[in-house]
Structure 1
Amino acid sequence: MTDLDPFTDLLDYPMYVVTAEADGERAGCLVGFASQCSIRPVRFMVWLSKANRTYRVAEHAERLAVHLLRRDQDRLARLFGAETGDRTDKFTDVPWHPGPGGSLILDEAPAWFVGRVENRIDGGDHVGFLLAPEAAAENCAGSRIPLLTLNDTHDITPGHPGN
């Protein structure tokens, strides 16, 4: 097997918080594997670890919400990255509101979108969720803000080993 670290160690891509709701359960996690993957039609792929509770909820969800965080939102990054929903209700002390189709929108996120799950693709220890965006908003008046990136999260120990 080829070690990809010499390549990926040079990357510093955005981090996202993905939230899901299904059958009365809610979940969310910090995600680094995500990207727009089509222009026409617009599609976005989010990869969730099979070890995460968020993945287990998302398996049954019709929609996922994808949130960007600012670089200074360390508290949210740690909550959704270092805590596991198996032991912690991450939404207890976080302001949020229901979004389209019952999605969970984090009020403090500078930008978010909700996407309808069109397909799920097994990629090994992660599953890709192909999303068709249905709604999007930004709370930063269109200005460029420093986003939370992979390099900002190296000191966050994942809530589940192997993430």
Structure 2
Amino acid sequence: MSSKAFTSLMGSVNSAVVVVTTVADDVRAGCLVGYHSQSSISPQQYCFWLSKANHTYRAGLLATHFAVHFLTADHLTLAKHFATRSGDDIDKFADLNIELHEHGVPLLSDCLHRMVLERLAIVDDGGDHVCVTAQVVDSESAGKFTPLRIADLGKVAPAHGSDERAVHP
């Protein structure tokens, strides 16, 4: 399969985007994530992939819990906030309304569709992202919604370029 065909396939899928947040050693982290999926019905499990160039990846290596915030069309500004800024440089949560889950994970108050996960494993298959597999420990939703999708973001310059996502041994 050609790279062009793969890009076309992935562009056609137009996945929903989520914001993943976590905390480790009192360091809060969060990023926009396009790779994520339910991975088990019973028990309820979810997976998401973090870029190795990302501050959230480094915090996530030490974290036990994460929150996945499902974004709606009304969350475009929030999505860009988490996509275009690096936790290496700023506190992404400084100007946001948050509450802390009992496990210390920052929850975005403006996101009514979210779940808290307990990490089961981190899988590094040598690519530029790692897969975090996790068990659902808490979830809440305000009902059905239309998710914000990758195509809705337009041209967004990520906080870390693709050259920073080099494959690590």
Tell me the TM-score normalised to structure 1 length. 0.93
Match of 1:98 in 2: 100
Structure-to-structure mapping, 1:45-84, within 5 angstroms = 45-84=47-86
Q: What's the offset of the Cα at 1:18?
A: 0.2
Whether 1:136 and 2:139 are equivalent positions in the alignment is yes
Match of 1:157 in 2: 157
Q: What's the offset of the Cα at 1:75?
A: 1.6
Q: What's the offset of the Cα at 1:68?
A: 0.7
Aligned partner of residue 129 in structure 1, secondary structure: strand
Aligned partner of residue 72 in structure 1, secondary structure: helix
Q: What's the offset of the Cα at 1:79?
A: 0.8
Q: What's the offset of the Cα at 1:56?
A: 0.3
Match of 2:12 in 1: 10
Structure 2 unaligned spans of 5+: none
Aligned partner of residue 102 in structure 1, secondary structure: coil
Whether the aligned pair in 2 keeps the contact of 1:82 and 1:158 (CA below 8 Å) is yes
Distance across 1 between alignment mates of 2:154 and 2:45? 28
Identity %: 34
Whether 1:127 and 2:130 are equivalent positions in the alignment is yes
Tell me the TM-score normalised to structure 2 length. 0.90
Whether 1:147 and 2:153 are equivalent positions in the alignment is no
Whether the aligned pair in 2 keeps the contact of 1:70 and 1:110 (CA below 8 Å) is no
Distance across 2 between alignment mates of 1:28 and 1:97? 14
Aligned partner of residue 78 in structure 2, secondary structure: helix
Structure-to-structure mapping, 1:5-44, within 5 angstroms = 5-44=7-46
Distance across 1 between alignment mates of 2:52 and 2:154? 21
> Given residue 21 of structure 2, which amino acid in structure 1 is its aligned partner?
T
Whether the aligned pair in 2 keeps the contact of 1:100 and 1:135 (CA below 8 Å) is no
Distance across 1 between alignment mates of 2:132 and 2:154? 24
Q: What's the offset of the Cα at 1:69?
A: 1.1
Distance across 1 between alignment mates of 2:102 and 2:48? 18
Q: What's the offset of the Cα at 1:100?
A: 3.1
Distance across 2 between alignment mates of 1:77 and 1:9? 18
Distance across 2 between alignment mates of 1:55 and 1:18? 10
Structure 1 unaligned spans of 5+: none
Match of 1:85 in 2: 87
